[in-house]
Amino acid sequence: MCECIFLFGRNPKLSYLELASYFKARELAFKPIARFERACLISFPQEFSAEALVEELAGTVKIAKLLFSCNENELEERISSADLYEGTKNKIMYFIDVINASSSVREFFKDAFKRQKLKAVHKFVAPHILAKKLCEHVDIIVIKNNSKFFVAKTIACSDPHKFRERDEERPFVEPEIMSSVRLARILVNLSCTKPRATILDPFCGIGTVLQEAMLLGYNVKGLELSPERAKRCTENLEWIKERFNTSADFGVKSGDARRLSDYFENESIDAIVTEPELGPLLKKLPAEQEAKQIVSTLQRLYKKFFSEAKLVLKPNGKIVIVIPRFRTKNSKLFTINMDKILHENGFRIFNATENLPIKASVPYLYKEEWHKIERLIYVLEKAPK
């Protein structure tokens, strides 16, 4: 058995949901033990490759093996006897990430290294360097939660440069039509679908969701209203296939998501994952009338899309979809009537944490400060026949 702390990025609850969905899809046993402000302690009955896992999960920044947990009065003693460094050098660099506790705990580590006759320099190392050179650094996470201390040693770190490479180096980039590569990967993982299954993005744009799905081992299909974007999407996915040497298949068509069943066979798709058309690009908060108008146009589009999605999805197929919510100048909120759409088309909310001791809620409200539109991330399941 092994206990690890998963340290999350900007959206901890969404990242926890991503992690739970990922394990559930692969039928990997795990047990969440405690949730902290931006981390989670998980126990695994089996060994696993932390390095591979941190690459697959977009919301997890670090995975750290729990060394011990204790009360404050035992902390100094436990640190001094812990296996902080297992290498053979006598000069090392280390960093102690202290969460929710006083930074003075760092002194205990300084003393512990001194006692072990190690010349240890405390230095922050940027994540993209740490990801590559973790074996040369000691990176410790200390979390204080309800007067208990959890001390863990980082065993894998996510490399932000890899996300940037997949975003900026692909042949076509259109930041205004998709949030981020990281969010795209989280959406794919939320689908809780077995690798090698078929994932469709019916509003595929230039293919951010599809590229991340391919890299996670799914075969993908895309549909896009604009023929120009569909072409760009194909070029991006060709680039992904070549650069990352993936065996996943892809196919992109130009067409209308309101007529999905014209392009895809009934019950041929395992999951639909998409950030769809979200309405016009807003430079400032809309007035009430404008927000109502946008919502009513999108309501008609989504209604038609869902009535077609239920045809092409397999029974129990999933939909992960981003639904916009508009905050007006006078702080009123307007969004799509999803209850009605779900009820009419036989979908229910799917929550991978439903039977776990620690739960996350769906839909998840995703906000970015610079963005005028708020987003609700829905995970849905088509009811079996």
Ligand X SMILES: C[S@@+](CC[C@H](N)C(=O)[O-])C[C@H]1O[C@@H](n2cnc3c(N)ncnc32)[C@H](O)[C@@H]1O
The residues of the shown chain that bind ligand X, judged by CB under 6 A, are 177-178, 184, 201-209, 223-226, 229, 256-258, 274-278
Which residue number is nearest to ligand X in terms of Cβ? 205
The residue written with tokens 């490759």 in the block is 49
Contact between 221 and 309 under an 8 Å Cβ cutoff? The reply is: no
Question: Between 55 and 224, whose beta carbon lies closer to ligand X?
Answer: 224
Closest CB 250 distance from ligand X, rounded Å? 13
Question: Between 129 and 225, whose beta carbon lies closer to ligand X?
Answer: 225
Closest CB 137 distance from ligand X, rounded Å? 35
Closest CB 24 distance from ligand X, rounded Å? 23
CA–CA gap between residue 138 and residue 149 (Å, rounded):
19
Question: Between 267 and 277, whose beta carbon lies closer to ligand X?
Answer: 277
Question: Between 32 and 363, whose beta carbon lies closer to ligand X?
Answer: 363
110-149 core/surface letters (b: 16 or more CB in 10 A; e: else)? eebbeeeebebeeeebebeebbeebeebbbbbbbbbeeeb
Q: What sections of the chain are H helices per DSSP?
A: 12-25, 50-56, 75-80, 106-115, 127-133, 160-168, 181-190, 208-215, 227-244, 260-263, 288-312, 338-345
Question: Between 110 and 258, whose beta carbon lies closer to ligand X?
Answer: 258
Closest CB 219 distance from ligand X, rounded Å? 16
Question: Between 236 and 353, whose beta carbon lies closer to ligand X?
Answer: 236
Closest CB 259 distance from ligand X, rounded Å? 8
User: Helices 208-215 and 160-168: crossing angle, nearest 10°?
Assistant: 130
Q: Is 240 exposed, middle or buried (0-12, 13-18, 19+ CB in 10 A)?
A: buried
Closest CB 156 distance from ligand X, rounded Å? 26
- DSSP H or E run through 377: strand 373-382
